[in-house]
């Protein structure tokens, strides 16, 4: 496979493990154990059973008839929005917490920006009875009160990060500090295909259930187990990595990655890391990131909280630089319009992140009968205020 990591966690030039010495012990323990554990039958049985009975998998592959008519292609939606907790993130947090238990860990930490990964982590901590601390920027806590309430109800302690910009990167710093201080009993659950090796590879494996199911569902519904195109939005890149995984080496499948263009690529207010980013180290891996000429991280912006991240997973940096994926950007306005369109054509209100993937349909040309899968990463309930404030309904 051309698109898997080498032993040190590199996808071509990207990835690896660029961490402070104080973290070495924790990360090395994880590197040494993760494959050994997740490839056991015992682990796979428990993981698959929870995906089925708790998450509700397989998620449907829905042939979207009216959307297909509009674009003149056969468009299918992979319905990650129907998962328990409303998005794909739970696939990964279940995988990581089962690994944590098998490594003898009793305490879970995570950082969260908008709160979606915090909720997915607090959910699986409740499910397994492990102690859970979520770090969240003080400013984000004030902006995302419903998710803070959910995490607390689930039994997690939400600790505010009060330094710097009081947002995601400050929460990340706090979580890393906690992990350094608690190496024996604590497992750090990262929410996307980012971070030092082995996180990008591990998270991609847990999310790969998305494309594994797609193969079987496409075979049953179309007679062929691969599509012509797969479209997915990219924040850190975990839903896209899962949707692409089993098709990476099949060059007949065109992969389309959609980034958040915010107010426009040239506006200075976007999160289009693949387009605007340059090589650098963020959260422990070499990847593309948005930085100024002094190497300081540029604050990202998107109307969608889940895409508002200044880096991108190293797998995606590699896919972009090798030309394996085609990059597209969708602005706030294009995503809002695409979200409304799906709602009116199919009766499905998508997450604003997923609405970015849908917006790409307007930017592509399709041959008749072409099979296109859009990964519908999450549902729109959490975004109702934003939709209502920005659309004249
Ligand atoms: C968090 C989130 C994303 C972005 O994260 P990835 O790691 O890029 O998948 C996309 N969609 C939804 C619904 C999310 O909650």
DSSP 296-326: PBPPP--SSGGG--SB--HHHHHHHHTTSEE
Which CATH number does 18-50+89-203 carry?
A: 3.40.50.1100
pLDDT tens by residue, 328-382? 999 999 999 999 999 999 999 999 999 999 999 999 999 999 999 999 999 999 9
pLDDT at 1 over 70: no
Q: What is the pTM (predicted TM-score) of this model?
A: 0.98
Q: What contacts 97, CB < 8 A, 6 or more positions away?
A: 108, 121, 124, 125, 127, 128, 130, 187, 189
Q: Does the pLDDT value for residue 393 go beyond 90?
A: no
Asked whether the domain spanning 57-87+208-390 has the same topology as the one spanning 18-50+89-203, the reply is yes
Task: Tell which one of 378, 381, 384 to mutate to probe ligand 1, the residue whose CB is within 8 A of the most ligand atoms.
Answer: 378
CATH topology of domain 57-87+208-390: Rossmann fold (3.40.50)
The CA distance from 119 to 288, in Å, is: 27
Question: What's phi and psi for 221, nearest 5 deg?
Answer: -95, -25
pLDDT grade for 109, boundaries at 50, 70 and 90: very high
pLDDT over 70 percentage in the chain: 100
Q: Ligand 1: which atom is nearest the Cα of residue 235? A: 8
- Residues with Cβ < 8 Å from 292, sequence gap 6 or more? 298
Q: Give the Cα separation of 331 and 96 in Å (integer).
A: 33
Give me the residue spans of the domains in the chain.
18-50+89-203, 57-87+208-390
- Angle (CA) 217-224-38 rounded to 5° is 50
Q: What is the mean pLDDT of residues 219-223?
A: 98
- DSSP state for residue 54 in the 8-state scheme: I
For the chain, give the mean pLDDT: 96
Least confident of 61-65, 169-173, 322-326, 388-392: 169-173
Q: What are phi and psi of 201, to 5 degrees?
A: -70, -40
From the candidates 80, 238, 377, 382, give the one annotated as an active-site residue. Answer: 377
Question: In which region does residue 381 sit, left (phi positive, over 0), alpha (psi from -120 to 50) or beta (all else)?
Answer: alpha
Ligand 1: does its nearest atom lie under 6 Å from the Cβ of 198? no
- Whether 238 lines ligand 1, by a CB cut-off of 6 Å, is yes
CB of 291 closer than 6 angstroms to any ligand 1 atom: no
What's the pLDDT band for 169 if we cut at 50, 70, 90?
confident
261 three-state secondary structure = strand
Single out the residue of 149, 64, 147 nearest to residue 385, CA to CA.
147
How high is the pLDDT of residue 165?
84
Q: What are phi and psi of 186, to 5 degrees?
A: -110, 135
What is the mean pLDDT of the segment spanning 41-67?
A: 98
CA of 154 to the centre of ligand 1 (A): 21
């Amino acid at each position: 496979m051309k698109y898997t990591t080498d032993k040190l966690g590199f996808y071509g030039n990207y990835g690896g493990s660029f961490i402070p010495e104080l973290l070495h012990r924790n990360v090395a323990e994880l590197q040494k154990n993760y494959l050994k554990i997740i490839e056991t039958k015992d682990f796979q049985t428990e993981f698959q059973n929870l995906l089925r009975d708790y998450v509700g998998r397989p998620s449907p592959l829905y042939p979207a008839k009216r959307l297909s008519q509009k674009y003149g292609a056969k468009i299918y939606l992979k319905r990650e929005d129907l998962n328990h907790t409303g998005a794909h993130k739970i696939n990964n947090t279940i995988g990581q917490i089962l690994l944590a238990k098998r490594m003898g860990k009793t305490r879970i930490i995570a950082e969260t920006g908008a709160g979606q990964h915090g909720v997915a982590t607090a959910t699986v901590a409740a499910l397994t009875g492990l102690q859970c601390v979520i770090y969240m920027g003080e400013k984000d806590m004030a902006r995302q009160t419903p998710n803070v309430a959910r995490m607390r109800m689930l039994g997690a302690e939400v600790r505010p990060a009060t330094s710097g910009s009081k947002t995601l990167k400050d929460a990340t710093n706090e979580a890393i500090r906690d992990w350094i201080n608690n190496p024996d009993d604590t497992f750090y659950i990262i929410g996307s295909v980012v971070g030092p090796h082995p996180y990008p590879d591990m998270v991609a494996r847990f999310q790969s259930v998305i494309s594994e199911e797609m193969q079987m569902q496409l075979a049953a519904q179309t007679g062929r187990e691969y599509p012509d195109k797969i479209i997915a939005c990219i924040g850190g890149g975990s839903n896209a990595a899962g949707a692409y995984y089993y098709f990476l080496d099949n060059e007949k499948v065109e992969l389309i990655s959609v980034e958040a263009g915010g107010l426009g690529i040239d506006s200075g207010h976007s999160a289009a890391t693949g387009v605007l980013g340059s090589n650098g180290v963020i959260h422990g891996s070499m990847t593309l990131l948005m930085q100024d000429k002094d190497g300081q991280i540029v604050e990202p912006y998107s109307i969608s909280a889940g895409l508002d991240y200044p880096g991108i997973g190293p797998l995606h940096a590699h896919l972009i630089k090798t030309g394996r994926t085609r990059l597209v950007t969708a602005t706030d306005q294009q995503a809002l319009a695409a979200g409304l369109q799906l709602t009116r054509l199919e009766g499905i209100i998508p997450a604003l992140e997923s609405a970015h993937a849908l917006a790409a349909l307007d930017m592509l040309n399709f041959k008749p009968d072409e099979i296109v899968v859009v990964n519908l990463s999450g549902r729109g309930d959490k975004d109702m205020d934003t939709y209502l404030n920005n659309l004249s309904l």
